[in-house]
Amino acid sequence: MTGTKLERKVTDFKLVNKSADVLKSSARNLSSFLKKEVINPWSVSSDSVQVIKEENVIFEYAGQKKHNSANLLGVVVLSVLFGIILSGLGDNGKPIVDLFSCLFKVVMKIVDVVIWFSPIGIGSIIASELVAMQDIKGIAENLGLFIVTIITASIIYGLAILPAIYAILLRKNPFRLLCCVAKSLLTGIGTASR
């Protein structure tokens, strides 16, 4: 299987002043600090140190790369053939059908447990990312603008562009169609289905 290879490039840097207390403390603290941060060597003083932070990071297309992944098409074809032949066996294949039915129930119970505990894991991931952020207010503003942009674009697309295409191609009133599918649309929006 092949996929897109992206090359990471930093287009801008910013300098941030930090206290030099970290450098004066233990060697372990100094070592962990230097693993995470890049220091501007011309700015070190007894009181502070300048850390070089990556400001703008972009990913540019760098060709194709091969992925070592499972042969899913082969697994699907084999499973379909196995199921067709198993259904043709009738009563002789019933023990295997019962085995797979039991395995399905076990897997579904495991999925239920994972789903119940996933909010804790997702909350922990979000909390760790929030703690690592430098400018939470700026990121929240950008995220809010992104959400408003997506919602506005979706409304324009759903209420203007798609009805216009429907009216041009079928020469029918698109708003009658919207009235007919409104209940389904509201159900989809309310349940956040995709």
Q: What does the pLDDT look like over 114-143, one tens digit per residue?
A: 999 999 999 999 898 888 888 888 888 999
Contact (Cβ atoms closer than 8 angstroms) between residue 7 and residue 62: yes
pTM for the full model?
0.40
Return the pLDDT at 44.
Answer: 67
Is 35 a residue whose pLDDT tops 90? no
| Three-state SS at 19 | strand
Instruction: Answer positive or negative: Cα dihedral of 116, 120, 123, 129.
Output: negative
Q: Which residues contact 107 (CB under 8 A, 6 or more apart)?
A: none
Is 1 a residue whose pLDDT tops 70? no
According to DSSP H, which parts of the chain are helical?
A: 21-24, 27-36, 72-89, 94-132, 136-156, 162-170, 174-191
| CA torsion, ordered 19, 25, 28, 32, to nearest 10 deg | 0
Displacement of CA 96 from its chain's centroid (Å): 38
Whole-number Å distance between alpha carbons of 194 and 189: 9
Q: How much is the average pLDDT of 8-34?
A: 74
- Per-residue confidence band for 4, with pLDDT thresholds at 50, 70 and 90: confident
Least confident stretch, 27-41, 80-94, 104-118: 27-41
Return the pLDDT at 23.
Answer: 66
